[in-house]
Chains A and B, each alone.
Chain A
Amino acid sequence: MKIAVVGKGGSGKTTTSAVLARTFARQGRATLALDCDTNPNLGISLGLGEEVTESLIALRDAVDTGEQEHASSADDLVRRFGVEAPDGVHLAVVSAIQNPEPGCP
């Protein structure tokens, strides 16, 4: 099942995504949370804390500035730009994949 969470910035989109993802995982489902925002902070709402979340963003920015290679595929993206969050949710910051415009490709 694929779920897209959309809305105006600041409307609670990220909080909603985080509670959904962790609830699915708690129900025993393999869950992948994708942060497609250009200012990614889903990690904080998932409970990863600021430091880990910020390190994922720094990795993403390194891609933007050319210091890091773009992910070559979806699997590569999750491996290199992903991290395990509470309840076993996998989180990946998605804009790290090559993409002419920001957001989820």
Chain B
Amino acid sequence: MLGQLARPGTIVVADFEAGLGTVMRLDGRPVDVVVVVVEPTAKSLEVGRRAADLVRESGLGRLVISANRVRDEDDAARVAAAFPGLDLLLVPDDPAILAAERSGVAPLDAAPEAPGVRALVSLAKGLLGPAGA
């Protein structure tokens, strides 16, 4: 299905169901990139670690960990300890994102310059590569 939708030059961003069920069913139909989104809580890191293991074991695609709501050094250390040696993006805890979520607007419209939003924009640009490929 993801394959059917991909056209040359088109980018498909799939916001998956929470958890891992559907990631497991991706088996054999790899994507280019899997972004595993976590928060620095014990539960979220545990789920993220399982997702990352699964992606690596089954060679689904390039793995990027994006850690949201990172408040301090302790949070950063928790994330780093959970994903040693992996590509990590630390997104600072940003009240602007929370406020956008609470009012039901897009963070990119509400606070394009907020640090948390800028971190995610930089992730997108990084995925496109230096040549925008």
Known contacts: A45-B106, A45-B107. The answer to whether A74 contacts B4 by CB under 8 A is yes
Main secondary structure of the interface of B (DSSP, over half): mixed
Known contacts: A8-B44, A15-B97. The answer to whether A104 contacts B13 by CB under 8 A is no
Main secondary structure of the interface of A (DSSP, over half): mixed
Q: Is the CB of B12 within 8 A of A32?
A: yes
| Shortest Cβ distance from residue A19 to the other chain B in the assembled complex, whole angstroms | 4
Q: Is B81 an interface residue (CB 8 A)?
A: no
Known contacts: A21-B13, A34-B5, A103-B16. The answer to whether A6 contacts B124 by CB under 8 A is no
Interface of B toward A, CB cutoff 8 Å: 1-7, 9-23, 25-26, 31-39, 43-44, 47-48, 51, 60-61, 66, 68-69, 91, 97, 101, 104-109, 117, 120-121, 123-125, 127-128, 132
